[in-house]
Amino acid sequence: MGDAFGLAFQLVLSGDADLLEIVLLSLRVSLTATGLACLIGLPIGALVATGHFRGRNAVLIVMNSLMGLPPVVVGLLVYLHLSRSGPLGFLGLLYTPTAMILAQTILIAPIVAALSRQVLEDLHAEYAEQFRSLCLTKLQTVQALLWDARYSLLTVGLAGFGRAVAEVGAVIIVGGNIDHLTRVMTTAIALETSKGDLALALALGIILLVIALGVNAAVQSVRMTAAKQAYV
């Protein structure tokens, strides 16, 4: 165990090329998925937060339930669609980073939608009467809410990124954990652990934790700065 930790730190400090490649691919896949999930989830969250329509409660239940989507189920569904015999098989995306981005986007878009809905609904309760008095359109209302809740929504995005970067079930099914192509931190950790190469697995685990801490610290710092200006 101690040797494994020693080797792990050596790998991290030496800037091992394979390790760097895995880390960069992980970040590319998860950050892209987070961006796409925000593009999809934030408008949905805003529309549900500000809307009054029949079946709204049912939509809320579905949105909240989808937050707990099992990654392997998402991976399986994306696999079935992207496999050669699937409806999107002609795109040839299976076992590519694009397939992994797609799976992670599906996994975290509901998280972004459900959490942003709550944030925006609270803000809307504060602004609604003023906005009606100003005769804002629905679009203007949604735009204003998204902008004014930007610092709170950073935390929502962070929750999505955290889920994406830490999951293994979906990306291993649609990515295949192919060396130099679709191997990301979580799939590499699973593989190296099963092979008994604990040093590489631990090194990746350490990096994963450092990234999680770093991103959280950055977001917290931005939020604290915003809070000082009463923008949160």
Partner 1 sequence: MSDVPATLYQAVALRAQVAPILPLAVRDLVLRFGEEVVLDGVSFDLGATGCTMIMGPNGSGKSLLLKLLHGLMQPSAGRVDWGGHAANTVTDRQALVFQKPVLLRRSVAANIDFVLKARRKDAGRRDALLDHVGLSHKASQPARLLSGGEAQRLALARALATDPEVLFLDEPTASLDPASVLAIEAIVGDARNRGVRIVFVTHDTGQARRLADDVLFLQRGSIAEHTRAADFFPEPQSQAARDYLNGRIVV
Residue ranges in contact with partner 1 by CB under 8 A:
126-127, 129-130, 132-136, 140, 144, 147-148, 229-232
**Closest CB to partner 1 among residues 194, 229:** 229
**Closest CB to partner 1 among residues 156, 211:** 156
Q: Which one, of 14, 25, 8, 113, lies nearest residue 61 by Cα?
A: 113
Give min distance, CB of 51 to partner 1, in A.
19
**Closest CB to partner 1 among residues 133, 194:** 133
Give min distance, CB of 57 to partner 1, in A.
23
Q: Which one, of 187, 211, 181, 182, lies nearest residue 201 by Cα?
A: 187
Give min distance, CB of 172 to partner 1, in A.
41
Tokens of 224: 């604290």
Give min distance, CB of 82 to partner 1, in A.
42
Cα–Cα distances in angstroms (integers) from residue 192 to residues 12, 110, 171, 182, 203, in the given order: 16, 31, 16, 15, 11
Q: Sign of torsion, CA 153 115 82 70?
A: positive
**Closest CB to partner 1 among residues 10, 225:** 225
Give min distance, CB of 223 to partner 1, in A.
12
d(CA 145, CA 119): 9
**Closest CB to partner 1 among residues 132, 195:** 132
- 44 contacts: CB under 8 Å, gap ≥ 6: 63, 109, 113, 117
Give min distance, CB of 151 to partner 1, in A.
8
Evaluate whether 138 touches 50 at the Cβ level (below 8 Å).
yes
**Closest CB to partner 1 among residues 121, 148:** 148
